[in-house]
């Protein structure tokens, strides 16, 4: 509060620093990192380099994060991205439990150092968390506990609002008759918020999670008869009209083993990395499965908003969690939005979005716009190779 008053007096603009991790090792080849040199080494070696750098940084030697150039947000706020140079699969130990016990603590230390750098060197007034940064810091709570005094937001309230709007758009666009919504990862931060929001708007929800106890506890807390919970991935995928994937898994959850060929599936993928990645999606389409998959949690903002770089995303497209950080800075909101998502805050971010001109993007699948009569096309290895050469990171 004191800082905001001082800033207002001095005429300085609020500053958002957005702290996110690399999604995949190939991101090193993005224009923001090492587009040429990045291609000289196979990705396996990059993973080894990322790990060694993170290990050293966790012991105070060098740092394993990169500050991208500052940008201006609607002339009212400045912004800057700090990217943790540890790709999500490495951070999560490729899903291997014993490896996670090594990689997660190392990554946390790098994140804490980056958070202090944001606060003390970059003079951030709001710290936004993206991708899996919040997942491995107990929804931002561990960062706060280190003594960070600026407000922190994990952006999940608006990610919930954005996903809700995206799914409603999908139901309308494709005229989906079955209104039961499947939520994979239903007791995660976004999953919980989405479940509550869909239930409050009269939808039936099938919530899926791996832990029966956590599911039962969540159902009890919700106290809503329209919520059914299951640990069965095949069941949720086949019984729901639209399936939302919102987990911290770094592998594909949608696989041949749980699909049948005699129905159409509608999948809204919020997860970063995706829970239905392009490679698996293309494989399934080529095998004859009918899947309409939508890029989840993507927002478009006012035309004047130009970051100057677009990390993996087409121009003007932004992650919803980033948009929440932007809006929090624009609104000079000094509260922390970490841990559980407050239902009231989801509704508040919807109002902010209307005010500042953010909305869900038109429906896309890996950047390709989807129309009502869209039918996924089988791809030959030649068209796949060509699309990779033309758009290596989107």
* DSSP secondary structure letter of residue 337: B
Residue 126 preceded by cis peptide, ω within 30: no
The torsion angles phi and psi of 172, rounded to 5 degrees, stand at -70, -50
Nearer to ligand NAP, 229 or 320 (CB): 320
Contact flag: residue 330 with ligand NAP (CB under 6 A): no
Contact flag: residue 248 with ligand NAP (CB under 6 A): yes
> Considering the complex, what minimum distance in angstroms separates the CB of residue 87 from ligand NAP?
12
CA–CA gap between residue 252 and residue 275 (Å, rounded):
5
Nearer to ligand NAP, 185 or 301 (CB): 185
CA distances in angstroms from 218 to 172, 188, 222, 223, 342, listed in the order given? 29, 10, 6, 9, 15
Among 34, 67, 122, 249, binds ligand NAP (CB under 6 A): 249
Contact flag: residue 319 with ligand NAP (CB under 6 A): yes
* Burial class (CB within 10 angstroms; exposed 0-12, middle 13-18, buried 19+) of 36: exposed
CA–CA gap between residue 358 and residue 140 (Å, rounded):
24
Among 86, 126, 161, 184, binds ligand NAP (CB under 6 A): 184
**Cβ pair 163, 224 in contact under 8 A:** no
* Per-residue tokens: 275: 């829970």
Stretch that binds ligand NAP, among 47-55, 101-109, 187-195, 198-206 (CB under 6 A): 187-195
Nearer to ligand NAP, 143 or 253 (CB): 253
**Cβ pair 41, 136 in contact under 8 A:** no
Site for ligand NAP in 334-373 (CB under 6 A): none
Stretch that binds ligand NAP, among 63-71, 130-138, 166-174, 329-337 (CB under 6 A): 130-138
Contact flag: residue 328 with ligand NAP (CB under 6 A): no
Nearer to ligand NAP, 121 or 342 (CB): 342
**Cβ pair 194, 183 in contact under 8 A:** yes
Query: Which secondary-structure segment (H or E) carries 287?
Result: none
* Per-residue tokens: 30: 């993005």
Cα angle vertex 282, ends 278, 285, to 5°?
A: 140
* Burial class (CB within 10 angstroms; exposed 0-12, middle 13-18, buried 19+) of 335: exposed
Contact flag: residue 195 with ligand NAP (CB under 6 A): no
* Count of Cβ atoms closer than 10 Å to residue 7 Cβ: 16
Among 14, 207, 296, 376, binds ligand NAP (CB under 6 A): 296
Contact flag: residue 246 with ligand NAP (CB under 6 A): yes
**Contact pattern from residue 141 through residue 180 relative to ligand NAP, giving x for each residue in contact according to CB under 6 A and a dash for the rest:** --------------xx--x---------------------
> Considering the complex, what minimum distance in angstroms separates the CB of residue 130 from ligand NAP?
7
Beta pairing, strands 359-360 & 298-300: antiparallel
**Cβ pair 115, 299 in contact under 8 A:** no
Nearer to ligand NAP, 35 or 362 (CB): 362
Stretch that binds ligand NAP, among 38-46, 222-230, 242-250, 332-340 (CB under 6 A): 242-250
Stretch that binds ligand NAP, among 8-16, 43-51, 206-214, 276-284 (CB under 6 A): 206-214
> Considering the complex, what minimum distance in angstroms separates the CB of residue 358 from ligand NAP?
12
- List of residues contacting ligand NAP (CB under 6 A): 131-132, 134-135, 139, 155-156, 159, 184-185, 187-191, 209-211, 246-249, 253, 270-272, 296-297, 319-321
């Amino acid at each position: 509060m004191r800082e905001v008053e001082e800033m207002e007096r001095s005429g300085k603009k609020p500053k958002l620093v957005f702290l996110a991790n690399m999604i995949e090792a190939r991101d090193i080849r993005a224009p923001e990192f090492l587009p040429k040199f990045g291609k000289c080494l196979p990705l396996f070696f990059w993973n080894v380099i990322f790990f060694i750098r993170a290990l050293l940084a966790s012991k105070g030697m060098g740092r394993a994060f990169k500050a991208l150039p500052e940008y201006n947000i609607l002339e009212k706020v400045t912004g800057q991205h700090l990217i943790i140079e540890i790709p999500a699969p490495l951070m999560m130990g490729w899903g291997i439990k014993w490896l996670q016990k090594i990689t997660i603590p190392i990554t946390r230390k790098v994140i804490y150092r980056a958070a202090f750098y944001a606060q003390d060197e970059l003079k951030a007034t709001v710290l936004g968390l993206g991708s899996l940064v919040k997942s491995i810091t107990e929804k931002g709570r561990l960062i706060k506990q280190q003594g960070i005094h600026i407000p922190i937001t994990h952006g999940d309230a608006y990610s919930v609002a954005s996903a809700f709007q995206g799914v409603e758009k999908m139901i309308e666009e494709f005229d989906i008759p079955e209104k039961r919504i499947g939520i994979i990862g239903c007791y995660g931060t976004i999953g919980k918020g989405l479940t509550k929001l869909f239930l409050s708007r009269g939808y039936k929800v099938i919530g899926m999670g791996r832990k029966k106890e956590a599911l039962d506890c969540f159902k009890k807390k919700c106290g809503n008869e329209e919520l059914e919970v299951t640990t069965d991935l095949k069941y949720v995928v086949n019984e729901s009209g639209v399936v939302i994937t919102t987990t911290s898994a770094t592998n594909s959850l949608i696989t041949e083993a749980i699909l049948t060929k005699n129905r159409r599936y509608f999948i809204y993928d919020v997860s970063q990395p995706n829970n239905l990645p392009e490679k698996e999606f293309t494989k399934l389409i080529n095998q004859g499965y009918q899947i309409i998959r939508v890029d989840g949690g993507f927002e478009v903002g006012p035309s004047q908003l130009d970051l100057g770089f677009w990390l993996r995303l087409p121009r003007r497209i932004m992650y919803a969690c980033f948009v929440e950080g932007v809006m929090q800075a624009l609104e000079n909101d000094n509260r922390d939005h970490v841990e559980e998502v407050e239902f009231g805050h989801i509704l508040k971010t919807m109002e902010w979005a209307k005010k500042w001109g953010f909305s869900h993007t038109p429906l896309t699948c890996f950047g390709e716009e989807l129309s009502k009569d869209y039918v996924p096309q089988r791809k030959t290895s030649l068209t796949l190779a060509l699309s990779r050469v033309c758009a290596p990171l989107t």
